Amino acid sequence: MFRSAARFFGTKSTALDAAPVKIQPYLAAKQFVPEDASKSKVRALRRRENRMKRQIIRDVNNLKKHSLKREEFKVDPVLGAENNKFISRMYQELEDPANLAYGYNREEFEKLLYGAQKAALDSSIGGEVITEQITKTEEKKKRALLTILNMKNSNAADKRKLATEMARKEFARFEGDTGSPEVQAAIMTVKIHFGFEHVKKAPKDKAHIQSVRELVQQRQSILKYLKRDDPEKYYYTIAKLGLTDDVVTREFQHGQTIFPGLPGVGRQAVGQVVGEAKEERTALC
């Protein structure tokens, strides 16, 4: 009986090893007051005890902050996970020839060209030769217009507009929804990706870097609100956007120490991006 008790209370006890170690500031800062101490001595010891408590709590909190900073994020806090299905689908939509630039709808475009061709044929008084010439002419016009309206030939603003509309429709709770937190987070994610692409091409564009930084902060704030308001919708949204909970809840560096303007991207990655941009310019020259 005594052996088992000794084994249980020994230093190698599994129960003691499993118990979590907690730092108790009031025990570490405890000041033992002598029995013959004067009132002023007691007050001085109590003040010293309170001061040591505050110092211990402050040191423990700083230690926790430093340990959190050393932990790496599960995904990139700016761009999210690689090969995210939503982002991949967004870029595929931009490459789809069925989508036209400048806000034109492909179905309305086809109707308009069909009406123009039919009007030209109705107004002609020639035979089959004239009809064939009109058909060929209208076909050339159609190809020329499709080339002009192709998304590959449009600017970044039109591509961003189409991607934003796609994100709004995919995350909307109801038809025409533009204000729900998940829709706003999705739109910010699209803008962040387009902004980062611009920064890779122009790494010295400080205004654009600042804009991307603010978008990341705004997305983090809106997702924190969504987590408080609707946790189920929150986890669904971050999973679809390629983000994780630690990216939203943890604070990360936004200053010059990681990347001048873009949080979460290391200096090595930035140097690689700048080097690739210089190589491309040299090759073009």
User: Which residues are CB-contacts of 237 (< 8 A; sequence separation ≥ 6)?
Assistant: 171, 181, 182, 185, 186, 223, 226
181-201 vs 267-284: helix axis angle to the nearest 10? 50
Same domain as 159, residue 21: no
Instruction: Name the residue with higher pLDDT: 283 or 187.
Output: 187
Same domain as 96, residue 50: no
Q: How far apart are CA 256 and CA 78, in angstroms?
A: 15
Q: How far apart are CA 175 and CA 131, in angstroms?
A: 45
Highest mean pLDDT among 34-48, 98-112, 178-192: 178-192
**Tokens coding 216:** 């990341």
* Any domain includes 50: yes
Same domain as 97, residue 23: no
How confident is the model at residue 255, as a pLDDT?
47
Same domain as 33, residue 91: no
Same domain as 98, residue 37: no
* Any domain includes 228: yes
Highest mean pLDDT among 46-50, 68-72, 237-241, 281-285: 237-241
* Any domain includes 137: no
DSSP 37: -
* Any domain includes 163: yes
* Any domain includes 9: no
* Any domain includes 11: no
Average pLDDT, the chain: 75
The arithmetic mean of pLDDT across residues 23-47, rounded, is: 79
Same domain as 269, residue 206: yes
Q: How far apart are CA 63 and CA 180, in angstroms?
A: 38
How confident is the model at residue 126, as a pLDDT?
63
Q: How many domains does the chain have?
A: 2
Same domain as 266, residue 154: yes
Same domain as 98, residue 42: no
How much is the pTM? 0.59
The arithmetic mean of pLDDT across residues 62-91, rounded, is: 77
How confident is the model at residue 125, as a pLDDT?
67
* Any domain includes 181: yes
Same domain as 195, residue 91: yes
Same domain as 249, residue 177: yes
pLDDT band at 101 (very low <50, low <70, confident <90, very high): confident
Same domain as 241, residue 174: yes
Instruction: Name the residue with higher pLDDT: 170 or 29.
Output: 170
Is the per-residue pLDDT at 10 higher than 50?
no
Among 121, 138, 143, 140, which residue's Cα sits nearest to residue 130?
A: 121
In tens, the pLDDT along 254-283 reads 544 334 444 444 444 444 444 444 454 454
The arithmetic mean of pLDDT across residues 180-192, rounded, is: 94
CB 97 within 8 A of CB 170: no
Domain containing residue 178: CATH number: 1.10.287.10
The arithmetic mean of pLDDT across residues 100-113, rounded, is: 75
* Any domain includes 68: no
Q: By residue range, what is the domain housing residue 31? A: 16-62
pLDDT band at 220 (very low <50, low <70, confident <90, very high): very high
- HEC readout, 96-119: CCCCECCCCCHHHHHHHHHHHHHH
Same domain as 25, residue 162: no
pLDDT band at 18 (very low <50, low <70, confident <90, very high): very low
